[in-house]
Amino acid sequence: MWGGRFTQKLDPAAWALNTSLAVDRRMGMQDVQGSLAWAAALHQAGVLSEDEAAQIASGLQAIQAEFTAQSFTFSPDDEDIHSAVERRLFELCGQLAGKLHTGRSRNDQVATDFRLWMLQTLPDIENALLQLQNTLVFQAEQSQVTIMPGYTHLQRAQPILLSHWWLAHFWPLQRDRERLAQLAQRAAVLPLGCGALAGTPLPVDRQALAKALAFQTAAPNSIDAVSDRDFAAEFLFFAALCGVHLSKLSEAIVLFCSAEFGFFELSDAFSTGSSLMPQKKNPDIFELGRGKAGAFTGRLVSLLTTLKGLPSTYDKDLQEDKEPVFASADTLLALLPALAGAIQTITAHPERMLSAIDAGMMATDLADYLVRKGVPFRETHALAGKAVHAAYEQGLGLDGLPLAVYRSIHPAFEEDVYQVFDAWESVKRRTALGGTAPAAVQVQLAQAKESVQRKLLF
Amino acid sequence: MWGGRFTQKLDPAAWALNTSLAVDRRMGMQDVQGSLAWAAALHQAGVLSEDEAAQIASGLQAIQAEFTAQSFTFSPDDEDIHSAVERRLFELCGQLAGKLHTGRSRNDQVATDFRLWMLQTLPDIENALLQLQNTLVFQAEQSQVTIMPGYTHLQRAQPILLSHWWLAHFWPLQRDRERLAQLAQRAAVLPLGCGALAGTPLPVDRQALAKALAFQTAAPNSIDAVSDRDFAAEFLFFAALCGVHLSKLSEAIVLFCSAEFGFFELSDAFSTGSSLMPQKKNPDIFELGRGKAGAFTGRLVSLLTTLKGLPSTYDKDLQEDKEPVFASADTLLALLPALAGAIQTITAHPERMLSAIDAGMMATDLADYLVRKGVPFRETHALAGKAVHAAYEQGLGLDGLPLAVYRSIHPAFEEDVYQVFDAWESVKRRTALGGTAPAAVQVQLAQAKESVQRKLLF
Amino acid sequence: MWGGRFTQKLDPAAWALNTSLAVDRRMGMQDVQGSLAWAAALHQAGVLSEDEAAQIASGLQAIQAEFTAQSFTFSPDDEDIHSAVERRLFELCGQLAGKLHTGRSRNDQVATDFRLWMLQTLPDIENALLQLQNTLVFQAEQSQVTIMPGYTHLQRAQPILLSHWWLAHFWPLQRDRERLAQLAQRAAVLPLGCGALAGTPLPVDRQALAKALAFQTAAPNSIDAVSDRDFAAEFLFFAALCGVHLSKLSEAIVLFCSAEFGFFELSDAFSTGSSLMPQKKNPDIFELGRGKAGAFTGRLVSLLTTLKGLPSTYDKDLQEDKEPVFASADTLLALLPALAGAIQTITAHPERMLSAIDAGMMATDLADYLVRKGVPFRETHALAGKAVHAAYEQGLGLDGLPLAVYRSIHPAFEEDVYQVFDAWESVKRRTALGGTAPAAVQVQLAQAKESVQRKLLF
Amino acid sequence: MWGGRFTQKLDPAAWALNTSLAVDRRMGMQDVQGSLAWAAALHQAGVLSEDEAAQIASGLQAIQAEFTAQSFTFSPDDEDIHSAVERRLFELCGQLAGKLHTGRSRNDQVATDFRLWMLQTLPDIENALLQLQNTLVFQAEQSQVTIMPGYTHLQRAQPILLSHWWLAHFWPLQRDRERLAQLAQRAAVLPLGCGALAGTPLPVDRQALAKALAFQTAAPNSIDAVSDRDFAAEFLFFAALCGVHLSKLSEAIVLFCSAEFGFFELSDAFSTGSSLMPQKKNPDIFELGRGKAGAFTGRLVSLLTTLKGLPSTYDKDLQEDKEPVFASADTLLALLPALAGAIQTITAHPERMLSAIDAGMMATDLADYLVRKGVPFRETHALAGKAVHAAYEQGLGLDGLPLAVYRSIHPAFEEDVYQVFDAWESVKRRTALGGTAPAAVQVQLAQAKESVQRKLLF
C-alpha cells in the first residue's frame, strides 16, 4: 500500500510489531461504512464517475456481507483492517479499487472508523447500565419496609432503609450515563476529509459527509482531527469511574454476603464453589466487579501516558489507542449484565439486618432528644457519649441503661428517653429531601424510575 | 469535638496522621459560607431563635473577616478546618456555638465545603484557559501568510499554514472548557442536609439551601451525597487531559525552538540559562508544560485508586480527596499563564520554515496530478514513490528530476508537472472545511474567535 | 547564576513556574555536603589552592551550621537550593565563591543531592518498617493458642491460628525491605563529576569522590548519570507496593473491628469519633492506611509518565522528580509508626473468633476423612458438598447432621466422623512447612524473629 | 469441580465473566509440571500408591505431549486451565484422577503455575535485553571517532562522542537486567503445599517440592503464599521502567531521523511508508517503542489498583493478575527484537552531526579558558555569556568574534582563545571517569562488553 519508494521488505520482527490487524480487525464494518460514504463523496467531487462509484459501492457492499456472514478471509499480508478491505476490493473490482483512496489518508480513515465504532457501541453500554439501574430499582422497590444498619467507617452508624441503600448505588450510574452522553457528543465529530494532516484538496462537503455517517459535525481543523483522541480518553475515564462505582457496590455486597454480616444471600446461579472446600459459596461475580476496577484505571493511564508529549498530527504511537478502549468496552459489556443478574437474584435477610441494629445506633437521636430540651447539640453530643461509655462499662445497651444513670448524666432526661431507641422512628424522622425516611425514599424512587425512562444518548 | 465516649487522648503518631488541617485549611471561607447557610436553615427549622441565629451569623462573619484579613489563628489542637472554625466560634459566641452542628455532620459539611471551593475555583481555571486560547488566536492571526512544513511521524509530510498549526492547539482547549463546564454541573449538587449518611431529622428545605449557596440542586440520596467524589475525579481527569494537551503543544514548541528546526525563538523573559554553559537558552517553561502531565495523571490515579472498593457512605479514606485536586488546580493556575505569556512572545522565523519545505513534500500532489490525468490513486501513489526513489538515488529533489525520468515512470507526465512543487499552491488547494487553505483557515479563525467570546461555565 | 547572555529578566509567571525552591529547599544539607566534597576535589585537581579550598570549606560549614540551626535565610531571588547556597557562599566568602562551580553543572549537582538525600532517608524508612514488623511479631507471639476463622473470598474457609494470620502480614514487609536494600544499591551511584552531560574536563578522581560521599561507585556514563532517575522510580514503586501491603492489612483490620466481626478492638488512643454520632469509634488510622495506597500509586505514575519519551540527558521535566519522592517518603514515615502503634495496642477477642468457627469450615476435613477411607478426593469433595447441602436444607450444622444421613451419602461414614469437626484438630493437622499448625507456626515465628535482627540496608 | 452443594448451574452471564480459560490456557505446560510434582509428593505422603502415582504421571505426560503437539482440545465447559487438565486426566485415567487434587487447592495451584510460567519466561526476556544491549555496543564500537552535538533541554550543549551517546542507553538496560534478576529471586518461592490458605494436612516435604520444580525455596506462610502477587507487580514495574528507557531511546532516534536533525537513517526493512504521501519514510518502530510505554505503565497500575485493599488470602480479584503480566511480557518480546534489528541497521551521518556543532557549544570551554587564567568560574561564565550575546547581536559565531571584542570583554583573552572552539579538543578534555573523551569511552566500552558477557538470572 505504501511500498513505492522502498527497496526492502519489512523485516519480520518489524512487521510483527507494526501490524495492528489483531486489534483493528473488529472495525471491518465501520471501515466499509466510511469507504461507502467516501466513495459517494468522490463521486460528488467528480473523481469517480457514476458507474465507477456504483461498482465500488457494490464491491464494498459485498465485503460488508462477508463481514456480516463472518466469511471475510484475512490474508497474512494484511497490515491492518484498511489494507485488508482495500485488498479485497481490488480482488472484487480490479484496478478501479485504486481510486477509492484518492484524497484520503489512513490517518483520517482510522480516526473515522474508530469513532464510528464507538458511536455504534455506546448504546449497548448505555443499555447495560440501564439494565443494572433497573435491577437496583427493582430491589429498592422490594425493600421499602426493610431497615438495616447504615455504616460509616464500617462502624454501625444509623439505621436506614434498605431501599435507600440500593438507591445510593443507582445515582452514580446515572452520572455515568450523563458522562457517556456527553463524551458521545465529542466522539461524533468527523475526521474524514482531513487527509493525512492538511485537509483534502477535493471539493468535498464534509458536513454532508458527517450527516451521511450519522456524525454531529465535521472536525474544524485537519491537524487536530487526525490526532485528537480525547474521545477515547474520555471513554476510558468514563469506564474507570464507572468501574469504581461497581467496585464500591461489589465490595459492599461481598461484605453483606459474609457469614458475619449475613444480610444477603446470592443465588446459586451467580455463585461459585471451591475446588478444595466443599462448603464454600463464593461471591466471585462481585469480587470480579471489584477487582476489574484496576484494569479500567490501568487502561486510562495507558492512553494518557501514550498521548503525553506527542508532538502533534499523526504519530504511530496513536496505534496504541484502540486496545484499551476495546478492552474496557468488552469488560463493561460482560460485567454489567453479570452484576445485574446477580443483584436481581439476591435474597435479603431482613431479620439479620434488624438484629444488627443496636440501641447505640440511636445515640445521635439521644443527643437530638436533649436538643429538643434546649441543650446545645455539641453539649448533647458529649452527654450522649457519656451514656455510651457508661453503657459499655456496664455491658449494657443504651436502651438498657437505667433512667437514674441517664439523669445523673443530665437532669433533662426523662422516662420518654427510651422512645428514641426505636429504630423505625429514627428512620422515619429523616424526612428532608434525600433522607432515609420512607416518605423521602418514595419521592426518590419515583425520581429514579423516571430517570431510567429516558436514554441520554442522542 | 467527638471525645465523649473516649477515655484516652489520641496518640501523637495517630494525631499526626489523622489531622487534615495542613490540606483543608484553605477551605476556611467555604466552611464559613456553608455554616452561615446552615445557621439560617436551623433558624427556619426552629432550632435556632432569631436572636441565636443572628449571634451565630455575626460570629461567623467575624471569622470570615479574619480569613479575609489572613488574621485567623489556627490552634495546634485544631484537627481540621471544621473544628478550627467551630473552636473559634465558641471563643466568639460561647456555648451557643454548640448549636450550630445540630443535624449536621462533618460528612456532609466537608463535601459541601469541597464542592463550594471547586465551584469558586473553576472560573479562574476557565479564565486561564481562555487566556491561553486568546494567545493562540493572536499567533494564528499573525501567521495567515506563513507556510511551514507539516509533519506526521515527525517526518516532513505536507506544507501547511502556520496559522492552521496554531489553531490545531486551540480546539483541544475548547474541548477542555466544555468538559470543565459539564463537570461543574455535577459539582453543583449540594450534600448539605444529608447528615452523616441518613439525612437530617430537621425540617430543612434543602433545595432552598442549595439556592442560597449557589448550587444547582440538592443531592437526591444522603448516602450517595456523603460519599460521591465523582466531581473530584472528573476534575482530575479534566486536568489530566488538559495536561496532555499542554504537553503536546509544549513538546512541539521545544522541538521548534531547537537549533535544528529553528522555527521559533522564545523571548528572554520566558527562557532560562545554564549554570555551566553560557550559551544556553532553554525552553524550561515548555519542558515543564510537558513534564507536568505526569503529575496530573498521577493525581487522577491517586483518587481513583483510593475510591476503588470503598464499601460506601463515608470512609476516612475520602480525606485523601483534596490534596490531588488542590495540587492540580494550583498547577493549572501556574502553568496556563506562564505558557500563555511564553507563547504570546514567541517570534516565528518564516524563512526557516519555508526553507524546510522541500519538493518531496509535494509527492502527494504529484500523485494527485496523475489522478487528474485519470490514473487511479493507488497506482499514482506507487508511481510518485518511484519518482521519490529515483530522485533520492540521483541526489536530486523531486523538482529537479528531469522530465524524461518522469515520462519513463509514466507517459502521462508532461511539462506542467513541475507546477505541483509550488508549496503555496499545494496549501491553497486544501479548501475543504478544516483544511489548511487560507480561505478555510479564515473560516476556522472566525469560529475560534467566536468560541472565546463565550464562557461555558454557568 | 546564568544571566550573562540574557537581556530581560524572567517574567513573574515564568519565575513562579520555574522556581523549585519550595520543593528542593529540604536538600540544603545534602547540597552543602556535595559542595564540600567537590571543593576538596577541585583542590586536588589544582583549581583551588589549599587556602582557597579551606576558605570555601569553612564557608560551607557555616552554611551547614545555619541549616542545622534552621537559621538559614532564603531570599526571594533564590531560584533553587543550589543558587541559594551559592548566594550565601558569596556573602560569606566573596568572589572566591565563584570558583566552586568550576567543572560542575546543576545537572550533576542536583542528581547528587537527590541521591544523597535518599541514601540518608532510607535507613529511617527501614527502621519504620522494622518497627511495624516487630509489632506484628509481638502480636503473633501473643496469639499462638488463639484460633480464628480463615477466609477466602471473605467466606469462612478453614480455621487458622491468629498467630499465623499476623505473620501473613509480616512477610510482605520483609520483601519490602529487600526491595529497599536493592534499590539503595542503585541509588548509591554518584553522578558528581559528570558536568552538564559530557563529563568534567578536570582531573577529578570520581571513585574517590564517591567514597568521600559514601556512595558505592561513580556513574559510568555522564549522559546517563544526569538523566537517570531509576532510583526515584524504584523508590516510588517500593512505596506503592508497600502501600498496597499496608492497605490489605488495614482493610482486614477495619473488617475485624466492625461489630459484625468483632474480632479486634482498637485502643482509644488510636481511634477517633464522630462529630455527629456519639457512639462511634472509628478505625481512622487503618482507613488512612488503606486509602493512602492511592497516593503512593499515583506518585509512581506521575514520575513514570514524566520520564516517558524524554529525549535524553537533562530536560527540565526532571525537576518534577522530587515532589512525589519526598511525599511518598513523608507519608511512609507518618503512616508506618501510626500503624505500628495502633496494631501494638489492638485487643483481640478470642471468644468472638472461636464462636465464628462453624462445623462447615471443616468440610474439607470431612472430605479428607473419606480420602483416608480410600475414596478419591474429587469424589469425597462432592460427597462432602452433599452433606453441606443436606445440613443447609435441614437448618443444621454439619456436626448436627445425623449419622444416618451421612451413611446415606456414603457408607464409609462411621461414628468417628464427628471428630473431624474439632477445629483445633483441623488446625493441628496442617503441619507442613508454612502451614497453620502450632508446630509449623513456631518455626515460622522463629524465622520471623531472626529476620528482624538483620537490617538489609548496607 | 466444585458443584456438590449447588442446586443451579452458573448463569451464562456469570460463566462468561468468571471463566479465565482465555487467559490462563497458556499455562498448560506449567499446570502439568506442577501436577507431576504434586503427584510425586502425594506418593511420598502415602496418598497415592506407587502404581497410582505412575498411572497419574503417565496421564499427565500424555497431556504434556498434547500441549507440545498443540493437539490438546479444550471443552466449552472448561472453567480454567486447571479444570481443563483435570478433566482430561479423568478421560485418560478414570476415577483415579480424582485423587490428584488431594490436599491441594486451586489457590496454591494457580500461584504455582503462574510463578513457574514467569520463571520460564524471564530468561527469554533477559536474552532479548542482551540482544539490544549488544546492538548498542555494536553501534558504540562503530562510532568512537564520530562527534556529535550533545543536548540538554534539546538545545545544543556540548560536543560528545556518538559512541558515548549510544552507551548512555546501554546502562539503563543493565539496570533493568539487575532488577529482573532480583525479582526472579522473589518469584522463585513456591506456594504449592499451602492449600487454600491454611496449609496442607499431608506430610509433604515442601522444600523438596521446591527443588523438584526448580524454585529457590518454599513460601514460609500459607496465607501469604496464596495471596502474594508481589512478583507480578515487580515484573510489571520492571517492564514499565524498561518501557520508559525504550521510550527515551526511541524518542531520541525519532528526532535524529527527522530531516531537521538528519543524524540517522533507518534501513528500509525497519521503516514504513504512508498510504497517502509517497515520499514518506516513517520510523514506526521507534514510535511504537515510545508509545508502548503507556501500556506498560497502565498494566502496572492495573495490578496495583486491583490488589489495593484486598482483605487477605485468596480473593477472586486475583484472577486479574495474569492478563497484564502476559501482555507486558509479550510486548517486550516483540518490541526488544524489533528495536534491536532497527538499531543494528541504522546508518549514522557523521557529517550532519559535525556540521551541527557550532562554536557556541564551546562556550563552557571559553569560560574554562578564563578559569585557567585565574578568573573565578562564576565570573567567567558571565563573561562568556557576554561574548555569546555579542556574537548573536553581530550575527557571528563565537569563533568569528574579533579578538578586540573578546579583549573588551576581559583583558585576559589572548590570541590562543580561538583554540577552544575546536570541538575535538573539547571532547578530548573530558577524560574523567564517565566522561566523553575517547580514552574514557574506551574504558566504558570495555566495561559494557564485560557486562553483556554475564547473564544475571540464576
The ipTM is: 0.97
User: Closest Cα partner for A391 from A402, A401, A382, A381?
Assistant: A401
DSSP D282: B
Over residues C355-367, mean pLDDT: 94
- Give yes or no for residue B114 having a pLDDT over 80: yes
How high is the pLDDT of residue D227? 97
Over residues B81-92, mean pLDDT: 97
How high is the pLDDT of residue B172? 98
- Give yes or no for residue D90 having a pLDDT over 80: yes
- Give yes or no for residue C279 having a pLDDT over 90: no
Rg (CA), chain B: 30
Q: Which residues of A touch B97 (CB under 8 A)?
A: 376, 378
The set of catalytic residues of D is: 153, 274
CB-closest option in C4, C105, C270 to B14: C270
pLDDT class of B313 with cuts at 50, 70, 90: confident
Over residues A152-181, mean pLDDT: 97
Q: Which residues of D touch A317 (CB under 8 A)?
A: 287-288, 290-291, 294
Q: Mind listing the domains of chain B with CATH numbers? A: 3-102 (1.10.275.10), 107-355 (1.20.200.10), 359-452 (1.10.40.30)
Pairwise CB contact (< 8 Å): B276 & D364: yes
Contact A305, B296 (CB under 8 A): no
Pairwise CB contact (< 8 Å): D301 & A297: yes
How high is the pLDDT of residue C4? 74
Q: How far apart are the C-alpha atoms of A47 and A98, rounded to whole Å? A: 12
Q: Element (H or E) spanning B236, and its range?
A: helix B230-256
Contact D200, C432 (CB under 8 A): yes
How high is the pLDDT of residue D148? 98
CB-closest option in B6, B153, B389 to A315: B153
Pairwise CB contact (< 8 Å): B315 & A153: yes
Amino acid sitting at position A458: F
- Give yes or no for residue C62 having a pLDDT over 80: yes
- Please check whether residue D324 touches A, CB under 8 A: yes
Q: Which residues of C touch B8 (CB under 8 A)?
A: 267-269
Q: How far apart are the C-alpha atoms of C421 and C83, rounded to whole Å? A: 73
User: Closest Cα partner for D209 from D94, D302, D89, D116?
Assistant: D116
Sign of CA dihedral D417, D422, D428, D430: positive
How high is the pLDDT of residue D8? 87
Contact D100, D89 (CB under 8 A): yes
Q: How far apart are the C-alpha atoms of B112 and B270, rounded to whole Å? A: 39
Contact D84, D40 (CB under 8 A): no
Lowest mean pLDDT among A389-398, B75-84, C282-291: A389-398
Region of residue A309 (phi > 0: left; psi between -120 and 50: alpha; otherwise: beta) = left
Residues 93-112 of chain B with CB under 8 A from chain C are 101, 104-107
Residues 139-158 of chain A with CB under 8 A from chain B are 150-154, 157-158
Pairwise CB contact (< 8 Å): B275 & D367: no
Q: How far apart are the C-alpha atoms of D82 and D298, rounded to whole Å? A: 28
Provide the terminal-to-terminal Cα distance of chain B, rounded to the nearest Å.
37
- Quick: pLDDT tens for A60-76: 999 999 999 999 999 99
Residue with cell 456414603: C410
How high is the pLDDT of residue C174? 98
The set of catalytic residues of C is: 153, 274
CB neighbours of residue A95 within 10 Å: 11
How high is the pLDDT of residue D313? 86
The set of catalytic residues of A is: 153, 274
Q: Which of B274, B312, B355, B408 is catalytic?
A: B274
Sign of CA dihedral A267, A268, A271, A273: positive
- Give yes or no for residue C3 having a pLDDT over 90: no
Q: Higher pLDDT residue, B272 or B4?
A: B272
CB-closest option in D153, D260, D309 to B282: D153
CB neighbours of residue A258 within 10 Å: 21
Neighbouring subunits of C (3+ Cβ pairs under 8 A)? A, B, D
Over residues C13-42, mean pLDDT: 97
Chosen from D223, D236, D381 to mutate, greatest number of chain C CBs within 10 A: D223
- Please check whether residue D70 touches B, CB under 8 A: no
Nearest residue on chain A to D106, judged by CA atoms? A275
pLDDT class of A5 with cuts at 50, 70, 90: confident
Over residues C101-128, mean pLDDT: 97
Q: At what angle do helices A50-68 and A28-44 cross, to 10 degrees?
A: 170
How high is the pLDDT of residue B331? 98
DSSP D272: B
Residues 352-411 of chain A with CB under 8 A from chain D are none
Residue with cell 459474609: A258
- Quick: pLDDT tens for C298-330: 999 999 999 999 987 899 999 999 999 999 999
- Give yes or no for residue B2 having a pLDDT over 80: no
How high is the pLDDT of residue D274? 84
CB-closest option in A7, A224, A248 to B309: A248
Q: How far apart are the C-alpha atoms of C394 and C305, rounded to whole Å? A: 59
Amino acid sitting at position A306: T
Rg (CA), chain D: 30
Q: Which residues of A touch B321 (CB under 8 A)?
A: none
Pairwise CB contact (< 8 Å): C260 & A260: yes
- Quick: pLDDT tens for A89-105: 999 999 999 999 999 99
Q: How far apart are the C-alpha atoms of D297 and C236, rounded to whole Å? A: 13
Nine cell digits for residue B260: 535544528
How high is the pLDDT of residue B4? 74
Residue C254 dihedral angles phi and psi, to the nearest 5°:
-55, -45
- Quick: pLDDT tens for C72-97: 999 999 999 999 999 999 999 999 99
Q: Which residues of C touch A307 (CB under 8 A)?
A: none
Contact A187, B175 (CB under 8 A): no
Neighbouring subunits of D (3+ Cβ pairs under 8 A)? A, B, C
CB-closest option in B201, B315, B433 to A207: B433
Over residues C239-265, mean pLDDT: 98
Q: How far apart are the C-alpha atoms of B426 and B382, rounded to whole Å? A: 20
pTM of the predicted model as reported, rounded to 2 decimal places:
0.97
Q: Number of Cβ pairs closer than 8 Å across A and D?
A: 245
- Quick: pLDDT tens for B442-453: 999 999 999 999
Q: Number of Cβ pairs closer than 8 Å across B and D?
A: 130
- Please check whether residue B278 touches C, CB under 8 A: yes
- Quick: pLDDT tens for D356-406: 999 999 999 999 999 999 999 989 999 999 999 999 889 999 999 999 999
pLDDT class of B278 with cuts at 50, 70, 90: confident
Pairwise CB contact (< 8 Å): D433 & C193: yes
- Please check whether residue B18 touches C, CB under 8 A: yes
The DSSP annotation for A246-277 comes to HHHHHHHHHHHTSTTT--EE--GGG-B--SS-
How high is the pLDDT of residue C275? 78
Q: Which residues of A touch B435 (CB under 8 A)?
A: 194-195, 198-201, 222
Q: How far apart are the C-alpha atoms of B443 and B155, rounded to whole Å? A: 28
Contact C344, C285 (CB under 8 A): no
- Give yes or no for residue A218 having a pLDDT over 80: yes
Instruction: Compute the nearest-CA separation of A312 from chain D (Å).
Output: 13
Pairwise CB contact (< 8 Å): C311 & D207: no
Q: Which residues of D touch B260 (CB under 8 A)?
A: 258, 260-261, 356
Sign of CA dihedral A162, A165, A167, A173: negative
CB-closest option in D8, D275, D293 to A2: D275
- Give yes or no for residue C7 having a pLDDT over 90: no
Over residues C354-382, mean pLDDT: 93
Over residues D202-227, mean pLDDT: 97
Q: How far apart are the C-alpha atoms of D130 and B91, rounded to whole Å? A: 70
Quote the percentage of chain A above a pLDDT of 90.
94
Neighbouring-strand partners of residue A151: A156
Instruction: Compute the nearest-CA separation of A305 from chain D (Å).
Output: 5
CB-closest option in D222, D307, D376 to C436: D222
Nine cell digits for residue B329: 488546580
Nearest residue on chain C to A383, judged by CA atoms? C278
pLDDT class of A361 with cuts at 50, 70, 90: very high
CB-closest option in A154, A308, A382 to C254: A154
User: Closest Cα partner for D323 from B40, A93, A330, C340?
Assistant: A330
CB neighbours of residue B414 within 10 Å: 12
How high is the pLDDT of residue A276? 79
Q: How far apart are the C-alpha atoms of B53 and B44, rounded to whole Å? A: 10
- Give yes or no for residue B6 having a pLDDT over 90: no
The count of residues in chain D is 458
Q: How far apart are the C-alpha atoms of C132 and C138, rounded to whole Å? A: 10
Q: What is the mean pLDDT of chain B?
A: 96
Q: Which residues of D touch C151 (CB under 8 A)?
A: 197, 311-313
Return the half-sphere exposure (C-beta side, CA atoms, 13 A cut-off) of residue D15: 10
pLDDT class of D431 with cuts at 50, 70, 90: very high
DSSP C400: G
Pairwise CB contact (< 8 Å): D341 & A14: yes
Q: How far apart are the C-alpha atoms of C19 and C25, rounded to whole Å? A: 11
Q: Which residues of D touch B152 (CB under 8 A)?
A: 274, 277, 280, 282
Q: What is the mean pLDDT of chain C?
A: 96
- Quick: pLDDT tens for D30-82: 999 999 999 999 999 999 999 999 999 999 999 999 999 999 999 999 999 99
Q: How far apart are the C-alpha atoms of A6 and A18, rounded to whole Å? A: 16
Return the half-sphere exposure (C-beta side, CA atoms, 13 A cut-off) of residue B106: 24
Pairwise CB contact (< 8 Å): C303 & B294: yes
Neighbouring subunits of A (3+ Cβ pairs under 8 A)? B, C, D
Residue D192 dihedral angles phi and psi, to the nearest 5°:
-55, 140
Q: Which residues of B touch A440 (CB under 8 A)?
A: 199
Sign of CA dihedral C27, C29, C32, C34: negative
Query: Burial of B218 by CB count in 10 Å (0-12 exposed, 13-18 middle, 19+ buried)?
Result: buried
Q: Element (H or E) spanning A87, and its range?
A: helix A81-93
Residue with cell 489483531: A22
- Quick: pLDDT tens for A428-457: 999 999 999 999 999 999 999 999 999 999
Over residues C120-138, mean pLDDT: 98
Q: Which residues of A touch B154 (CB under 8 A)?
A: 311, 315
How high is the pLDDT of residue C325? 98
